[in-house]
Amino acid sequence: MDDAATQRRFTEAYDSGEVDSDELTTALTRYDSLDADGKAEFDDLLARNGDDAAKLAARTDSDTFDDIMSLGCGPGQASLGSVSSLTDDAYYSVTAPSRTSAALASGSYLSADAKDDFRAGLAKASNDHDVDVEDDFSDVVDAVEALDGDGQRAAVDMVNDLGADGVRVTNGATDLGSRKHSVLTDSEVDDLLTSYDSYRKSDIATRDVADVQKDIDQIAESDVEGLKSAIKSGTGSDTNTKGLDGEVDAATNLLDDGRKIDKLETDIDTSKGETDIDVDLSDGTAIEVKNKNYNEVPEYARSSRESELTKKMEKFAEERDELVIAARGDPSNADVLKNVKNNIETAYPDTNVQLKHIDNVDEV
């Protein structure tokens, strides 16, 4: 190791207790396996991220580390030393192509700044012990390499800004595509990631995007019908994504309570017109999710909000007897929602309308 500053930073990571002696040895082995360009890139990462970069080198297996450092170099241009310099036989296979090679062959390249940001995010994420630095990092490298345009930039931004949560969001969204669940097309995965990146920066976000994706993961694992439609309706604008945030929050609260969801986004065509039911329970209960606080509706807007929601709930009442409006704030004391409930139950005497907080929707 010729760079005195790099040697000093590795030593500082050891002296501070961030890496132990075995991890330091592993990190130095990983570093020594890089060629001159690779070392220069890792020097920059170490200068930018210090102990986190040292832990990244120490805690990833050799294949994953190689993929991270050869990120976006293009086929045959990886910043690695010769095969003979990679001595960790437990992890490195001469005959197996690197995980990124197939993705790189598709022609997806990252700018130098994007690579720096992405690696910095992974270095930060290596501090999170809930992250599998081998599988999760390998998966997110593959994901970012395979993404295009806006989706790729969004994923890099989230990994850089959010660290481990950015890794989880990117992997979860990518798993909704052909990699695992086949719920979304590749372009729809791009749209979801782009919408997440915009929503998290907005002033209307209700929850962290990692929480939204965690709920979507649970819904996908539960094979709930209609998830694709819910996600497609929840992209394209921050308002749409806010709606998706509330819908999947309500849905997973119900699943956690053992309730069976028949479908998300159930289309109905009634004498009052067409609409969709956000969460349709197998017992016939129809739930409209409003990810907003109706206690805060200004007086001048109350009449229009009441009229709009009443018209939608009339369509529900044409089809169902048990209706729920799930919202934020204190729904049972929100004048707009109380008036909607009264309007529906007066027009449809056999219909019951419950007003619930999204967090308590499982009480229906």
Domain residue ranges of the chain, discontinuous segments joined by +: 4-262, 263-364
φ, ψ (nearest 5 deg) of residue 15: -65, -30
What does 273-304 look like in DSSP terms, one character per residue?
EEEEEEEEETTS-EEEEEEEEGGG--HHHHHH
Question: Are the beta carbons of 279 and 264 closer than 8 angstroms?
Answer: yes
pLDDT for the residue numbered 75: 33
Taking Cα atoms as reference points, which of 39, 60, 53 lies closest to residue 9?
53
DSSP state of 271: T
CA–chain centroid gap for 32, Å, is 34
CA distance 282 to 266: 12
| Residues ≥6 apart with Cβ < 8 Å to 300 | none
pLDDT for the residue numbered 361: 98
pLDDT tens readout for residues 227-264: 999 999 999 999 999 999 999 999 999 999 999 999 99
pLDDT for the residue numbered 46: 87
The burial class, CB within 10 Å (0-12 / 13-18 / 19+), for 97 is exposed
DSSP state of 352: E
Question: Are the beta carbons of 45 and 123 closer than 8 angstroms?
Answer: yes
Residues of the chain below pLDDT 70: 1-3, 72-108
pLDDT for the residue numbered 108: 53
Question: Are the beta carbons of 226 and 171 closer than 8 angstroms?
Answer: no
CA distance 288 to 282: 15
Query: At CA 125, angle to CA 121 and CA 129, rounded to 5?
Result: 175
pLDDT for the residue numbered 90: 34
Domain 263-364 in CATH 3.40.50? The answer is yes
Question: Are the beta carbons of 2 and 37 closer than 8 angstroms?
Answer: no
pLDDT for the residue numbered 173: 98
For the stretch 333-363, what's the b/e string if a residue is b when 16 or more beta carbons lie within 10 angstroms of its beta carbon?
ebebbbbbbebbeeebeebbbbbbbbeebbe
